[in-house]
Structures are given as structure tokens and as C-alpha cells.
Amino acid sequence: MGNHDKIMEEYKRQRRRSQGKSVDELLSMTEGQNECQFLFGLEMAIQQKEELVGQGNLSDQERIVLAVEALEREVNNGGYSQFFINSSGQYAPIIVDALVRIGCPEVAALTRRAIEAIRPVAWAPEAIAAAVSSYAETESSRWVKVPGSILIERSPVNEPETHDAMSKALDQCDQSFYQTTENIGGRLIDFVKANKESIRS
């Protein structure tokens, strides 16, 4: 079994282990482990619920968990650009409010700056979603695959100055995110504990 297969098997095992568990059950399962284990299990459980009932049937608190976890994972792995480009971009319209609600005003303000960098026409969910979609489309068209599985970046065709300004602004937001002292995971756990009746897997 290759390394990828082992990772996928562990992921499936963790999903089965987390499915249908309450917040208290997940907390007891991960007692003595780091906060990441609990949040990982909770996120997987909510994702499985979402697959069964649809995102529209999740509570606001469950959507907050998914949004904050997506942001933290993606920005830590590849910056705000990665958050917008990947499927996590679906949470952009609610992420600032989600961060405020869990008690992370500094990261909320920083994330708002990152969203403003991709230039939504208004500060409304539909406008933010459209800006994320446009940004993701532009970014995905910047890379060309050449023989030998090498990706080469090509210059943006339209408005290179705008693209450069966006990249610079997002990079500044990334650097500030990496230096923040707000414990996003810890505050999310506190939020989950305070709202556990509204969070069911």
C-alpha cells in the first residue's frame, strides 16, 4: 500500500469514527490530544452531515465551523489565494462574520482586507461570491501544463497591473495572518462548547 493509500485509509477511518457523534462525544474521544484532532473530527462529522442533508440544512453554528476551519487550513497551506481558489472559497461571503462571532476580530479585519483585495463590487454575499469566482477563474487560467508535467505561469492577459496589485495585497494579508496572535482554533473550540446544542453531526 502506497503512502497516498495509507493517508486515504486513515482519512476514511477518521470519518467513520467521527460520524454521528455529538460535540461532547467528540471532545471525550480527543481528550488529551491537541485541539486540531477535535476540530478535524468535528469538521469531518459536519461535512458528512452536509452530504446527507445539504448545506442549507446546517445550522449557522455548523457553517461557522466549516468556514473557519477551511480558512485556517487553506491560508496556512497556501495563503488567502488558495482559500479563494479552492472549494473553500464558497465560505468567503460568511467568513468575516464567522470570525467575529468566534471572537477573532483581528483575523476578521485581515480577512476582510483580503476579500477587498479581489475587488467585489459591493460588500454583499452575492458580490463577494462573484468576485471569488472571477478571481479563481483568472488564477486557474494563469498556469499552462507542458510536457513532463511541468506547470508554467503565464502573464495575466487582462489588466496585469490589477493582477499584480491583488497579488501584492493578498501576500501582505498572508504575512499578517501568519503573525497573528489570535488563537483561531482555541476560540473556535470555545465557540463550539458554548453552542454545542446547535452543532450536531
- Over the chain, what is the mean pLDDT? 83
Q: 108-126 pLDDT, tens per residue?
A: 999 999 999 999 999 999 9
State residue 44's pLDDT score: 86
Question: Looking at domain 3-198, which CATH architecture does it have?
Answer: Up-down Bundle (1.20)
Q: How far apart are CA 63 and CA 98, in angstroms?
A: 8
Q: How far apart are CA 137 and CA 141, in angstroms?
A: 6
Choose the weakest-confidence range: 89-93, 101-105, 148-152: 148-152
Q: 70-85 pLDDT, tens per residue?
A: 999 999 999 999 999 9
Contact residues for 26 (Cβ-Cβ < 8 A; gap 6+): 18, 38, 41, 42, 45, 201
152: pLDDT confidence band, cut at 50, 70 and 90? very low
More confident residue, 56 or 69: 69
Q: At 166, phi and psi to the nearest 5?
A: -60, -45
Provide mean pLDDT across the span 141-156.
55
Contact residues for 97 (Cβ-Cβ < 8 A; gap 6+): 108
Cell of 101: 462571532
Q: 13-37 pLDDT, tens per residue?
A: 666 666 666 667 766 665 656 677 8
Cell of 123: 460588500
Choose the weakest-confidence range: 27-31, 114-118, 145-149, 177-181: 145-149
Q: How far apart are CA 36 and CA 126, in angstroms?
A: 32
Q: What angle do CA 169, 170, 174 make, to 5 degrees?
A: 120
pTM over 0.85: no
